[in-house]
Amino acid sequence: MHDSLTEPDSYETAFNAMLAGDDRALAAWLPADGSAAPGLAVYRNTVAKARADALSGLFPTVERLVGTDWFRQAALIFAEAAPPASAVLDDYGLAFPDWLVAFPPARDLPYLAPVARLDLAWSQAHRAPDAPSLSSRDTAHLAPARLFTARTGLHPSARLFWFDWTVPTIWSANRADGDAPDAVWEERPEGLLIVRPAGAVTWHRLSHPQWTFLKACRRGDTLGQAAQDAFASDPTLDLGTLFASLLTMGALTPLQPETPPHD
């Protein structure tokens, strides 16, 4: 039997090896007659199912695109390649999108990894801290000069994306409530915002000026600088309409007035 003075890390390493299929990894901790083998097999299968279920919950759009059988097999292979680093299963799939990029069966599905990133962003937005959003009431009384020197930021739940391909179209069409499962994968730029300003996660398609404005706010620029970037993207835009749309989305945090310079 196992010596109680053996380093804990050794047991953890052996336990993970057992989960990966090495039946002898825990030999030092188990009876020599092999009587524990059936129990280990049950435990291994239970853990594998839990990991696959966790990935299924985190990446429902990916699963819908490839089918349950394909996804479950990929989940089992991923579990061997990237065992959880935390007991929190919600954090388990952080490496899954990047792993899909190099996964041979996904090479002919170039949209799969970016769709997985959007699934992950939806989950992260769902679990993000609550926080107030900037509203039209907060800005209605401000003179333009004061508004343009103020700063804001992205809501803690906000996840901002710009793609050269139709990733948002594929993703939104294949969500559980999607209405266009035959959406076409093509080279057409698209932006997307995923955010939870209130009780539910929402997503919004973004024009390039909207994305540019939000990107500037995320960087810490003033609203005036963000407006300049948006105009550079599209000189014909209506800034008031753009700003109102972002307020409606709940994408921004309350204003931080510009600190006046010291004399």
91 in Cβ contact with 55 (< 8 Å): no
Sign of CA dihedral 132, 126, 200, 245: positive
Total Cβ atoms within 10 A of residue 248 = 13
pLDDT of 75-110, one tens digit each? Answer: 989 987 877 666 666 678 899 999 999 999 999 999
- The residues, ordered by sequence, that sit 6+ positions from 127 with a Cβ below 8 Å of its Cβ are 90
Domain ranges for the chain: 128-263
SS3 letters across 37-65: HHHHHHHHHHHHHHHHHHHHHHCHHHHHH
**β-strand partners of 206:** 191
pLDDT of 6-60, one tens digit each? Answer: 444 575 665 565 565 555 655 555 555 555 555 555 555 666 677 788 899 999 9
How many DSSP H helices and E strands does the chain contain? 12, 3
Average pLDDT in the chain: 84
Half-sphere exposure of 170 (CA within 13 A, CB side): 28
Q: What is the pTM of this model?
A: 0.81
User: Is CATH 3.30.420 correct for 128-263?
Assistant: no
Token pair, residue 12, equals 């953890």
Q: How far, in whole angstroms, is CA 59 from its chain's centroid?
A: 9
Amino acid (1-letter code) at residue 77: I
Radius of gyration of the chain from Cα atoms?
24
CA distance 209 to 124: 25
Q: How far, in whole angstroms, is CA 67 from its chain's centroid?
A: 21
CA distance 226 to 221: 6
Q: How much is the average pLDDT of 195-217?
A: 96
> What is the pLDDT confidence band of residue 179, given thresholds at 50, 70 and 90?
low
Helix (H) or strand (E) holding 76: helix 68-81
pLDDT of 111-133, one tens digit each? Answer: 999 999 999 999 999 999 999 99
Token pair, residue 88, equals 């929190």
CA distance 220 to 242: 18
Match 């209405």 to its residue by tokens. 179
> What is the pLDDT confidence band of residue 262, given thresholds at 50, 70 and 90?
very low
CA distance 228 to 70: 47
CA distance 84 to 80: 10
Q: 194: which DSSP letter?
A: E
Question: What pLDDT is attached to residue 3?
Answer: 44
